[in-house]
Structures are given as structure tokens and as C-alpha cells.
Amino acid sequence: FKRQFGIGKYIVDFYCPKKKVVVEIDGATHSTDKEVFNDNFRQRYLENLGLKVIRFTNLEVGQNMDGVLSEINEVCGKN
């Protein structure tokens, strides 16, 4: 995985080029209507490039790292 990787005009949190997987970690600022719209637009852009985007909240990462890593592993295993 590459951290803070540029794809087009966007910078994603983590990117695995071999598996074409993007992992985004969303903080509290991603809960406003404007940010949800922007995140959805950005996700569609990335998916149109053939990438799989998976999202987690900061809370999920902080409280359930094993679950987060398990889901990332599962998604990467399918690609």
C-alpha cells in the first residue's frame, strides 16, 4: 500500500496498485452533506478507473482495527 497517493486530481489515504484497492479513512468532517456529496463523487470517479474503494471511519480504525484489517484483507483477496 502507498500512503497519501495521487490519483488524477485526488489524493487517497492508501492505495494498493497491485490489487487496485483504495482505502479511505474518514474523520468527522466527512459527515456534512457537502462532504458526503464530494466523497460520493470522488468514489464514483475512482471506481470508473476500475478501482475498488473501501471506507472506514476514524472510530472504526480506533476501536476495531482487527475488523478493519480483516475487511481489507478480504477485499484484497477477491481482487
pLDDT in tens, the chain (79 residues): 999 999 999 999 999 999 999 999 987 666 778 888 888 999 999 999 999 999 999 999 999 999 999 999 999 987 6
CA–CA dist 73, 62 (Å, integer): 18
What are the C-alpha distances in Å from 29 to residues 6, 26, 32, 35?
Answer: 21, 8, 6, 7
DSSP bridge partners of 2: 15
**pLDDT given at position 47:** 97
**pLDDT given at position 32:** 76
